[in-house]
Amino acid sequence: METNNKEGCALCDATWGEYYREIDGEKMLFCCNICADIFGNMVAEIKRRTGWNSIDYVELVGNYSSGRNCKARNGGSEYKYYFRTYSDGRLMKFEDR
């Protein structure tokens, strides 16, 4: 799975940390365990709502305080959504957009 963050953390693009977690069978780079938790929860929610087995690409726009407007792609399908999380990584809000 790819995201629009190419420099560092798959979720926030920070380059100060190095924390790896396997998401969907792929080793992905995050800055910390919280970003990995957030990303993992987000991926689970996308799959639950779309019925997809896997996700090819995620575009994330926004940040922790304002929430994130995102697009996910799987093959030719696209899914748009918005989400915010608590500071511990649990989902606060998740909406189809």
Which positions lie near Zn ion, rule CB under 5 A?
A: 9, 11-12, 14, 31, 35
CA dihedral 64, 79, 41, 23 (to 10 degrees): -110
Q: For residues 78 and 31, give the distance between their C-alpha atoms in angstroms, rounded to a whole number.
A: 27
**Of 12 and 55, CB closest to Zn ion:** 12
The answer to whether 30 and 17 have CB atoms below 8 angstroms apart is: yes
Closest CB to Zn ion among residues 36, 74: 36
CB of 51 to Zn ion, least distance (A): 28
Minimum separation from the CB atom of position 64 to Zn ion (A): 9
Q: How far is the CB of 76 from Zn ion (least distance, A)?
A: 29
Give the separation between CA 50 and CA 63, rounded to whole angstroms: 23
Q: Which residue has the tokens 């918005």?
A: 82
Residue 46 or 60 with smaller CB distance to Zn ion: 60
